[in-house]
Amino acid sequence: MIGAMRHHVLLSVVCVWALIVLLFVGKLITFRAADEYGDRGVQNWRVPRPKTVTASTVASPESQHSKSTDQTSATSPLMSLPPPDPEWLSINEKRLELLSSVCKNNSLSNLTHVPISEFVLDRILVCDKHKILFCQTPKVGNTQWKKVLIVLNGRFPTVEEVPEEAVHVRGRKGLKHLSSLTPQEISLRLNTYFKFLIVRDPFERLISAYKDKFVKNPRDEPWYNSKIAPVIIQKYRKSHPDNELTPSKLQFEDFVRYLGDTVDRKQVDQQFGNYIIHWVTYTELCAPCDIQYSVVGHHETLEQDAPYILRAAGVEGLVSYPNIPPGITRYNRTKVEQYFSDISKRDIRRLFARYQGDFQLFGYPSPDFLLDREDEHKAEEVKLAF
């Protein structure tokens, strides 16, 4: 009797150990498979869409970061936060649904799909401490979001204390770019991190880029007017003196004609390098149909979007988006009409054709008020056609 009981106990112990070994081997196989995912190469990545950001996914932000590879995140003073406003969650969900729907439209695929190239990866900033990826889209409050990430990385206590020069530093002392990591590290972050980008009306963004780089130039970047403007003027201005090597100041009409060129623009852009990021499309910058973002913020509603984005990312208690001057994010149709008042319909149509993907992906109405107006340049267009 005692022998039989002893045999039963030994058999139970052996079974338990066998079960432990099987579980360990299963986890090891899973880990190795996940690690090898990155070996497929950057150009061919297809990142699965994460779950839509809902109240249940953000109610306990500390749980989102419990597996962070940065051990310092374990000491972050995250508290249990209430979920974002249901109305905002609904808005974000609709934005993501629209994005997904347009991405599936094969007739627009040449405007909405790009390879996840080195250029795209270099636009994406990384905050490993809180598992966040942010794709930079210039002229939409991009600098302020960089300051937010710098604070989250622990370099400064508040965004107000972040100096302007710190925003543009790269490497160990600055913000990390996704392009600086290995394929395996990139795959891990694209598949597991909270990812967001900010967009605005495409034509208003182009006006902002033109003013910032060629008119006001507040950051004293002389190459825009000394190197880029002369190339655009000499190629795209309708007429200028042949003996004038550096024609007069770049006009918005020159800028629009250059942007809408479907034949030679890419060859021109090669001379400009990464300076063109201020006016290339959202698709070219962030690959929104090929990298599945968690949140899409809009510049026009940034006052409402910014705090909810921070809450959805689980960092609301750690940083605040800088104060936004009243009215600065509001869409200004009058300004758009004024800038395009001297632009021909032909050039507007060409410009819209290039940025049509941006309009449709993010729900911005097409600029029919520009395309349907009486055109003073109609006679000139007829003349050019012959």
Give the tens place of pLDDT for each residue, 191-242: 999 999 999 999 999 999 999 999 988 778 889 999 999 999 999 997 655 5
Output 30 or 184, whichever has higher pLDDT. 184
- pLDDT score for 274: 85
Helices (H) and strands (E) in the chain, counts: 20, 5
**Alpha-carbon distance 167 to 189, whole Å?**
22
DSSP string, 135-184: E--SSSSHHHHHHHHHHHTTS-SSGGG--HHHHT-BGGGSBEEGGGS-HH
Task: Show the tokens assigned to 118.
Answer: 């080195």
Output 245 or 281, whichever has higher pLDDT. 281
- Strand order in 295-298's β-sheet? 176-177, 124-127, 132-135, 194-199, 295-298
314 backbone dihedrals φ, ψ, rounded to 5°: 80, 25
Domain boundaries, the chain: 44-202+282-312, 219-279+334-385
pTM, to two decimals: 0.77
pLDDT in tens, 243-279: 455 457 999 999 999 999 999 999 999 999 888 999 9
pLDDT in tens, 148-193: 999 999 989 999 999 888 887 776 667 999 999 999 999 999 999 9
Percent of the chain having pLDDT more than 70?
72
Nearest of 187, 244, 239, 249 to residue 216 by alpha carbon: 249
- pLDDT score for 173: 64
With a CB cutoff of 8 Å and minimum separation 6, the contacts of 15 are none
